[in-house]
Amino acid sequence: MTLQIGVIGTGWFGRMHAEKLARMEGVNMAAFVATSKQKADDAAKPFTDARGYENVSDMLDDRKLDAVYICVPPFAHGEIENELVKREIPFLVEKPLGVDIETPAAIGQAVQASGLITSVGYHFRYMESADKAKELLEGRLAAMAIGNWMGGMPGVGWWRKMEGSGGQFVEQTTHIVDLLRYLLGEVTEVYAAYGDRIMAGKEDGVEVPDIGTATFKLASGVVASISNTCAISAGDRAGLHIYTDKGVLELGHHGLIDIESSRKTEYVNKRDPYQLENEAFLHAVRTGDTSLIRSTYADALRTQEITVAANQSAKSGLPVRLPSYL
Ligand SMILES: NC(=O)c1ccc[n+]([C@@H]2O[C@H](COP(=O)([O-])OP(=O)(O)OC[C@H]3O[C@@H](n4cnc5c(N)ncnc54)[C@H](O)[C@@H]3O)[C@@H](O)[C@H]2O)c1
């Protein structure tokens, strides 16, 4: 069975997903939605059978789709998901789920009531090194974790505004917060401090903090801290180090380094985690078996809640206990 796929949002990541999907067996790129018909047509052009649309309902009226990829900026969520839920079309939505918790929580309720298949683009969960870390943690006691996302500021305008992206913790560092949850369990409290040191004085239109650090208490008793900056153009490192009773597990994009007193073992990711994420989602769409999906809408809602709570804490100066919306 050939799956007919639509993509909403034709920027960097919408195009990246489309290219990967088009190379998969039994997948046809059928439709693209952008903020103008011209942009949508341009995105559709490389794919023989694809058409461009200016809005989601036009696309769904015209083409019978099996699944849709949502690759819009964080501020643009809400109506898109509601339309897909209404028409019972499974979707993979890129992280983060939104800029706040209210819109994603309402979508989450509708998704749950519909029983729709969903997947969220927390691709770190699909790294082979995340599997290895999970396996190693079964025989070790995790004590604490230190994570980071240190890099430059993405060029797109929406990223620089809180109402556009939600800021770095919500938009980017969410991957590390999600990995923390995936490997070490639920977060029960967060306290954060943010600042503006470099970017607002250097580039126009920057309203998001460019440094931040957050402390997390986990239900297990683990304590973690995650820091981020988007002011270091030469940096670009992201990862999570887990300190255990039997050494340190250092996870990054590349893979995992397992350090015990006199032994250092490196596991390099061989497979593309985005490809594994696509395979898991499309397998679910084809068969109804969702067991390979590692981040559903309901699960990602917990990560969203934590990063939004970090923003609230940085604003109020007070710790936030979780979950606060359930
Ligand atoms: N998982 C990852 O590793 C990863 C990496 C990069 C981006 N992302 C996520 O993907 C999403 C998109 O990021 P990007 O880098 O492609 O941004 P981008 O700015 O390059 O592209 C977003 C596109 O969406 C369009 N858009 C905005 N509102 C829309 C709407 N209502 N309907 C249709 N299109 C709309 C914009 O015009 C733009 O073309 C973000 O949430 C980002 O966090 C995830």
- What's the helix, strand, coil split of the chain in %, to 5? 40, 25, 35
Q: For residue 79, which atom of ligand 1 is closest to its CA?
A: 31
Question: Which one-letter amino acid corresponds to residue 145?
Answer: A
pLDDT in tens, 147-196: 999 999 999 999 999 999 999 999 999 999 999 999 999 999 999 999 99
54 three-class SS: coil
DSSP 89-130: --EEEPSPS-SSSHHHHHHHHHHHHHT--EEE--GGGGSHHH
Decide if 225 is inside a domain.
Answer: yes
Decide if 211 is inside a domain.
Answer: yes
| Residues 236 and 279 grouped into a single domain | no
| Residues 112 and 161 grouped into a single domain | no
Structure tokens at 127: 């790294």
Residues forming beta bridges with residue 229, ordered by sequence position:
150, 211
182: CA distance to ligand 1 center in Å?
Answer: 24
74: CA distance to ligand 1 center in Å?
Answer: 8
For 194, 202, 232, 298, the CA distances from 199, given in Å and listed in that order, are: 13, 5, 9, 34
Measured at the CA of 29, the angle between CA 34 and CA 11, to 5 degrees, comes to: 35
Report whether residue 156 contacts ligand 1, using a CB cutoff of 6 Å.
yes
| Residues 313 and 173 grouped into a single domain | yes
As a whole number of angstroms, the distance between CA 128 and CA 274 comes to 12
Check: CB of residue 183 under 8 Å from CB of residue 247. no
| Residues 41 and 54 grouped into a single domain | yes
pLDDT in tens, 103-140: 999 999 999 999 999 999 999 999 999 999 999 999 99
| Residues 48 and 115 grouped into a single domain | yes
Task: Give the least confident one: 32-36, 180-184, 288-292, 320-324.
Answer: 320-324
Place of tokens 């994009």: 253
pLDDT averaged over every residue in the chain:
96
Decide if 190 is inside a domain.
Answer: yes
Q: For residue 123, which atom of ligand 1 is closest to its CA?
A: 1
Q: What is the mean pLDDT of residues 40-45?
A: 98
Domain count, the chain: 2
Decide if 261 is inside a domain.
Answer: yes
Give the residue, out of 17, 35, 83, with the most ligand 1 atoms within 8 A of its beta carbon, to mutate for a pocket test: 35
| Residues 176 and 148 grouped into a single domain | yes
| Residues 8 and 145 grouped into a single domain | no
Report whether residue 160 contacts ligand 1, using a CB cutoff of 6 Å.
no
Decide if 264 is inside a domain.
Answer: yes
Decide if 188 is inside a domain.
Answer: yes
Decide if 79 is inside a domain.
Answer: yes
pLDDT for res 325: 46
| Residues 116 and 128 grouped into a single domain | no
Report whether residue 12 contacts ligand 1, using a CB cutoff of 6 Å.
yes
Q: What is the mean pLDDT of residues 207-214?
A: 98
Range of the structural domain that residue 79 is part of: 3-122+275-295
DSSP code of 25? Answer: T
Residues forming beta bridges with residue 36, ordered by sequence position:
none
Q: For residue 74, which atom of ligand 1 is closest to its CA?
A: 41
Which residue puts its alpha carbon closest to atom 2 of ligand 1? 121
pLDDT in tens, 252-269: 999 999 999 889 999 999
Which residue puts its alpha carbon closest to atom 19 of ligand 1? 11
Decide if 326 is inside a domain.
Answer: no
| Residues 158 and 264 grouped into a single domain | yes
Q: Give me the CATH number covering residue 261.
A: 3.30.360.10
Measured at the CA of 306, the angle between CA 303 and CA 310, to 5 degrees, comes to: 140
Helices and strands, counts by H and E, the chain: 12, 15
158: CA distance to ligand 1 center in Å?
Answer: 10
Spacing of C-alpha 293 from chain mean position: 13
| Residues 130 and 168 grouped into a single domain | yes
Which residue puts its alpha carbon closest to atom 22 of ligand 1? 11
| Residues 89 and 162 grouped into a single domain | no
As a whole number of angstroms, the distance between CA 73 and CA 272 comes to 23
Q: Which residues of 171-187 are buried (b: 16+ CB within 10 A; e: fewer)?
A: bbbbbbbbbbbbbbeeb
pLDDT for res 326: 38
| Residues 150 and 251 grouped into a single domain | yes
Q: Give me the CATH number covering residue 109.
A: 3.40.50.720
What percent of the chain has pLDDT above 90?
96
Q: What is the mean pLDDT of residues 55-79?
A: 98
pLDDT for res 261: 82
Q: How confident is the model at residue 324 (pLDDT cuts 50, 70, 90)?
A: low
201: CA distance to ligand 1 center in Å?
Answer: 26
Check: CB of residue 119 under 8 Å from CB of residue 273. no
Q: Which residues of 39-59 are buried (b: 16+ CB within 10 A; e: fewer)?
A: bbbebbeebeebbbbbbbebb
Q: What is the mean pLDDT of residues 43-47?
A: 98
